[in-house]
Structure 1
Amino acid sequence: MSLVVLGLSHHTAPLPLLEAVSLDDAARADLAARIVGRENASEAIVVSTCNRTEIYAEAHTFHGAVADITDSLTEVCRVGRDDLREHLYVHYEDRAIAHAFTVACGLDSMAVGEAQILGQMRSALRAAQKAGHAGSSLNGLFQQALRVGKRAHTETGIDSVSVSLVEAGLTRAVAELGPLSGLRVLVVGAGGMSSLAAATVARSGCRELVIANRTQSKARRLAERTGGRARPLGELREALAEADVVISCTGSTGVVVDLALAGDAQVARGGRPQAYIDLALPHDVAPEVASLSSVSVAGLAVLGQDLSAGATTPQVQEVADLVIAEVAAYLTARAAETVAPTVAALRSRAAEVVALELGRLDQRLPGMDDLTRDEVRLAVHRIVEKLLHTPTVRMKERATRGHGDDYAQALRELFDLSPHETAAVSVPPPQTGGLP
C-alpha cells in the first residue's frame, strides 16, 4: 500500500480549467466513491478549493491508482483526459506526505500562509470519514497535516507576513479609488471567503459595509459581526449602484454579476469608478464587465500574480523548515509502525516462554520462599529483555532505511512467529478523540 496525491492547482493549471474541476460537496463525495469503488485504491479524500482540486489516495498499485483517479476525475468533471494530462501533478509516498503538510501550512496557496486551507482540509477529512472513504492511512496523514498546519500558525511568524487574496484585491481597489475609509464596500455572499472579506474590510475601516446574500439570516449574522448592513440578494442591482468596491464569492455555479447588471449600476452611478474583486471559482463576475468604462475587475488569476511577486521571507522559510522536520518525523514513525506487529509478536512469544518456564520452576521447587522466587523471576525477565533489545532496535533502524520488512521476515522465521500471531497484534486500536 502506498500514498498517492494527484491534482491540479493554480501552479499548474489555467483558471478556466480550475473552474471546470472545482467540485461541490456532492461531486467530491461522488469522486471519492468512484475511486475506492475500483480495484486500485482503498481510501480516498478529495480537497477542492478555489485554488486546487486534489485527490489523496491509499493505493494498492501506483500506476493503476493514477489511472483510476484520472478516469474518475474526467467522469465527474466531464473534462477530457487530454485536457487534464498536461496540468496534473502526481506525488508519491514521502513527496506526497511533504505536499500534504506544505498545503496545510498554506505554503502552497495563492496567498502564502493563509489559514483557510486548514478548515477546508478538515472538512474534506470529516466528509471522507462520514462516507467511509478514509481509513487508518489517510486519517493519520490528515490528522498530522492539520497539527503541522496549526503549529505553523502558532509557533512561527507566518501570520505576520501572510497577505490574503482579499487584502491583495483591496490594495488594487485603493490604488484605483482612493482610501478605503471613504469607500462603500459591498460583499456578495456570506460563506467562508465572504466572511473573511467582510472581516478584513471591517478591520481596515470603510465608509459603509453591506452584506448581500440569498439567505437573509446568514447575511444578518455576518453584518452583525462586522458592523455592516444586510440586504437581500434580490436588491443586488441597487446595492451594486451604491457600492464603490464589490467583493463577490457566492459559490454559485453561474455568473452572479453579468454585463447588463454591472452596466445598469454604472448608469445609476453616473460613471463614477468602481472596482470588482472576484474571489469565486467558478467566477461570479462576467469577464465582460471589465470592458465597461471606469470599471476594473480583479479575479483569482490577477490576484494570484500579485501575491506571487513577493520574495520568500524568513517567516516563510521558518515554516518550510518546520515541514521538513515534521515529514522526517512522520516517515520515521510510520516506518516503525510497519515492524511494530513483529516486535509485539516477538515479545509476546518471549513472555509466553518465560511464564511457562517459571511455572515449571514453581512445580519443581514448591518450597521456594517468595523472596527467592521474585529474584528468579526478575533475573529471567532481565535476561529476556537484554536478548530482545538488540533485535528490536535493529529492526526499527532498518525500517527507517526501508529494509524493515526483510529484517522482520527473518525474525518471524527464526522465532517461528506465525502470520496469525503477527496479524493479531497489528489491528490498530479504535480511533478516539476528534479532529485537532
Structure 2
Amino acid sequence: MHLVLVGLSHKTAPIEMREKLTFPAARQAEALSLLTGDAAIAEAVILSTCNRTEVYALSSDVDRGVDAVLGFLADYHDLDRHDLVRYLYIVKGEAVVRHLFRVVSSLDSMVIGEAQILGQVKEAYEHAFENGATGRAFNRLFRQSFEVGKRVRTETAIGENAVSISYAAVELAKKVFDSLEGRTVLIIGAGKMSELTAKHLVCNGAVDVLVANRTYERAVELAERFSGRAIEYGSLFERMHDADIVISSTAAQDFVVRKPDVAEVMKGRRGRPLFFIDIAVPRDIDPAVNDLSDVYVYDIDDLNGVVESNLEERMREAERAEAIIEEEISEFLRWQESLEVVPTVAAIRAKAEAIRQAELERALKRLGGLSEKELATIDALTCAIVNKMLHGPTARLKAAAEEADGYLVVEAARELYGLDEAEGGRGPGLLRTLLNRKAREMHDTHAANETGDGLGC
C-alpha cells in the first residue's frame, strides 16, 4: 500500500486560495464518495481547516494516487489544475505518517502548541470513517495519530506558555493577582485586540466587564458580547475605581490615561492593585503611571517580550515532541511491515501449526497407548496435510504480492485468516470495502446501460 498526501496550508498558500479549497462538514460525504470512487484510491480522509486543506489517500500506485487527488481537487472546486499545483505540497510514503503526526501535535500549526488541531483531525477522520472511506490502514494510522497528539500534550509542556498578545496579557495579570476569579475588567476603546484580551480574561475567571468608548453605541455593542455594561466615556475615571484590570486600545495620538488621573483613582482603594494593559500604538497610558504604588502598567513591548520568551520555551518542548513522533512512526512502520507478504505467510503457517498441534494433542489423548513409530507417523501425516493445504495459497500469495496492487491480496489474506482480529476497530475491513466498491461499480454500470439509447452508449 502507498500513502499519499496532497495539500496546502498557511505556509504555501494565501487566504484567497485557501478559501477556494475548503470542504465544509456538510459536503464531506459527497466529496469523499467522489474521491474514493476513483479506482486509484482505496481509502481517504479530507482535513479542512481555516489554515489548511489536506487529502490523505491510500493507493495501489503512488503516481496514480497523486494524479487522482490532484484531479479531484481541481474538478471539485472548478479550479485550473496548473494554477492550483503552484500552491500544493505532495508527500508520499513514510513522510505522510510523519506529517500527520506533526500536524496533530500542532508542530505544523501557525501557532505551535495550539490545541484545536487535534480535534479538527478527529472530526475529519470521523467523517471519513462514517462514510466508509477508511479501512484497516487509515483506521490504524489516524487512531494512532490521536494517541501521538495526546502523548505530546501530556509528556511535554508545548501548550502551557502564552504565545499571543492576548494570552500574554492574561499571563501577566495572573502574576499581579493570585487569581482572576471575580475580577472586574474595564475596556477603553472597542477594538478587536481589546475584545480578544477581554475574552481571555473572562475565560480565566473575570466576571464583570465595563466598556468605555467615545462612540457610546460601539461600547454598548461590545459590552453585550460579554454580558457587560457600557459606560459613558466622560465617567471613565470615576468607574475605573471599580476595576481591577484596565485594557486600553484606542486610536488616540496622545495619552488618554495620565498619572494624576490614576493617582486620584487610587485614593480609597486601600492598596488594591490596578493592572493596566496598554496595547495601543501610539501608547494610551502615560508610562509615569507605573510609578504609582500598587499600579502595574504593561505595554505592547512588554507583552511581546513574554510572547517571544514563551515561543522559545515552546520550541524547546517541540524538540521533545519530535522525539515522541519518531518513536510512534517506528511503531506504525512495524505494523505496516506486518502487512507485507513474508510476515503474512509466516503468520498463516504459525496459526495453522498452532491449530495442528492442539488438535493432534486432543486426538492422541483419546487414542492412547500408541508406539513411538505410530506417533511419528500421525505427526508426519498431519504436517503433510497442513503443508499441502497451504502450499498453493501461499505460493499464489507470494506471486500476487509482486504486482502493483499486491498489498490488496495480502490484506485480503490477513482478513480471511483472521490474523489481525486483535486490532479491532469499528470500520469495515479493506476486503469488505473493496467488495462494496465493486458492487457499486457494477450497479453504476447497470444503471448506465439502463439509461442508454440502445446504440451501445
Q: Which of the five TM-score ranges fits, normalised by the shorter chain?
A: 0.5 to 0.7
* Aligned match of 2:349: 346
> Per the alignment, in what secondary structure is the counterpart of residue 327 of structure 1?
helix
The residue aligned with 1:431 is 424
Query: Which has the larger displacement, 128-137 or 19-28?
Result: 19-28
Q: TM-score, normalization: structure 1?
A: 0.58
Picking from 293, 318, 321, the partner of 1:319 is: 321
Say if 1:47 and 1:124, in contact at 8 Å, map to a contact too. Answer: yes
Q: Structure 1: which 5+ residue stretches go unaligned?
A: 172-179, 189-193, 211-236, 248-271, 276-293, 295-302, 385-404, 413-417
How many angstroms does 1:32 deviate by? 1.8
Structure 1 CA distance, aligned partners of 2:77 and 2:96?
Answer: 23
- Partners of 1:76 and 1:323 lie apart in 2 by 33
Q: Distance in 1 between matches of 2:168 and 2:370?
A: 82
Change (3 A) 1:95 1:127: same
> How far apart are the structure 2 equivalents of 1:354 and 1:65?
44
CA change 1:241–1:359 in 2 (3 A) is closer
Counterpart of 1:128 in structure 2 is: 128
Choose 422-431 or 101-110, whichever is displaced more: 422-431
Q: In the alignment, residue 321 of structure 1 is paired with which amino acid?
A: A
The answer on whether the counterparts of 1:23 and 1:48 sit within 8 Å (CA) in structure 2 is: yes
Change (3 A) 1:421 1:142: closer
Deviations 1:192-231 (A, max 9, x none): xx99994565328586289xxxxxxxxxxxxxxxxxxxxx
Note the alpha carbon deviations across 1:264-309, whole angstroms, 9 max, x for none: xxxxxxxx9669xxxxxxxxxxxxxxxxxx9xxxxxxxx9xx99x9
Alignment check: 8 A CA contact 2:162 2:168 kept: no
In 2, Cα distance between equivalents of 1:65 and 1:421? 23
* Shift in alpha-carbon separation, 1:88–1:33, aligned structure 2, 3 A: same
Which residue number corresponds to residue 186 of structure 2? 182
Structure 1 contact 106–113 (Cα < 8 Å) conserved: yes
Amino acid at match of 2:338: A
Closer/same/farther in 2, CA of residues 198 and 187 from structure 1, 3 Å limit: farther
2:346 aligned partner, one-letter code: V
Q: 1 CA distance for matches of 2:197 and 2:29?
A: 26
Shift of the 59–185 alpha-carbon distance from structure 1 to 2, 3 Å rule, reads: farther
Alignment of 1:319-338 (within 5 A): 319-338=321-340
> C-alpha displacement at 1:326, in angstroms?
1.2
**Which deviations, in whole Å up to 9, do the C-alpha atoms of 1:325-369 show, x marking residues without a partner?**
211221122213435431221123434654687688779x84369
Task: Tell me: CA distance 1:82–1:326, structure 2 relative to 1, closer, same or farther (3 Å).
Answer: same
Q: Which residue of 2 aligns with 1:177?
A: none
Secondary structure in 2 matching 1:108: coil
Deviates more, 1:309-318 or 1:77-86: 309-318
* Whole-Å separation in 2 of the counterparts to 1:197 and 1:138: 41
Letter in 1 for 2:353: A
- For the residue of structure 2 that corresponds to 1:78, the secondary structure is coil
Q: Name the structure 1 match of 2:3.
A: 3
Show CA shifts across 1:34-80 (max 9, x none): 11011110111111111100011111221111111112112222332
- Two-structure CA RMSD over aligned residues (Å): 5.0
Residues of 1 paired with 2:132 and 2:89: CA distance? 26
Match of 2:59 in 1: 59
Looking at structure 2, the residues matched to 427 and 187 of structure 1 have their Cα atoms a distance apart, in angstroms, of 61
Q: What is the CA distance between 1:93 and its match in structure 2?
A: 1.4
Structure 2, unmatched stretches of 5+, are 172-183, 227-247, 252-282, 284-303, 384-393, 402-408, 428-457
Q: Is the 8 A contact 1:98 1:327 kept in 2?
A: yes
Q: What SS class does the counterpart of residue 158 from structure 1 fall into?
A: coil
Deviation for aligned residue 1:245: 12
Question: Which string of whole-angstrom CA distances, capped at 9 and with x for unpartnered residues, describes residues 146-171 of structure 1?
Answer: 01001111111112236369648999
Specify the SS of the correspondent of 1:161: coil
Structure 1 residue 432: Cα displacement: 4.2
Indicate how the Cα distance of structure 1 residues 428 and 198 shifts in structure 2: closer, same or farther if over 3 A, else same.
Answer: farther
Cα distance in 2 for residues equivalent to 1:197 and 1:150: 29
- The count of aligned residue pairs is 313
1:432–1:360 distance in 2 versus 1, CA, 3 Å: closer
Determine helix, strand or coil for the equivalent of 2:113. coil
CA distance in 2, matches of 1:28, 1:422: 30
Question: In structure 2, what is the equivalent of residue 143 of structure 1?
Answer: 143
Contact between 2:103 and 2:117, CA under 8 Å: does it hold in 1?
Answer: yes
Question: Counterpart in 2 of 1:300?
Answer: none
Letter in 1 for 2:125: L
1:24 is matched with which residue? 24
**Aligned twin of 2:105:** 105
Equivalents in 2 of 1:245, 1:117: separation in Å?
30
| Contact kept? 2:5, 2:91, Cα under 8 Å | yes
Alpha-carbon separation, structure 1, partners of 2:90 and 2:137: 18
Alignment of 1:2-401 (within 5 A): 2-161=2-161, 163=163, 167=167, 181-183=185-187, 198=199, 201-203=202-204, 205=206, 208=209, 242-243=221-222, 310-311=311-312, 313-339=315-341, 340-351=343-354, 354=357, 366-367=368-369
Q: Which amino acid aligns with 2:203?
A: A
Rounded Cα–Cα distance in structure 2 between residues aligned with 1:115 and 1:368: 68
2:154 maps to amino acid: T
Structure 1 position 427, deviation (Å): 6.2
1:54 alignment partner AA: E
1:169–1:62 Cα change, 3 Å? farther
Paired residue type of 1:14: P
Query: Rg bigger for which structure?
Result: 2
Assess, with a 3 A threshold, how the Cα gap between structure 1 residues 433 and 66 changes in structure 2: closer, same or farther: closer
Please give the alpha-carbon distance, in whole angstroms, between the structure 2 residues aligned to 1:81 and 1:14. 17
Would you say the 8 A contact 2:163–2:311 is kept in 1? no
- Cα 1:195–1:29 change in 2 (3 A) is farther
Question: Offset at 1:181?
Answer: 3.6
Report deviation, 1:184.
6.9
Corresponding residue for residue 281 of structure 1: none
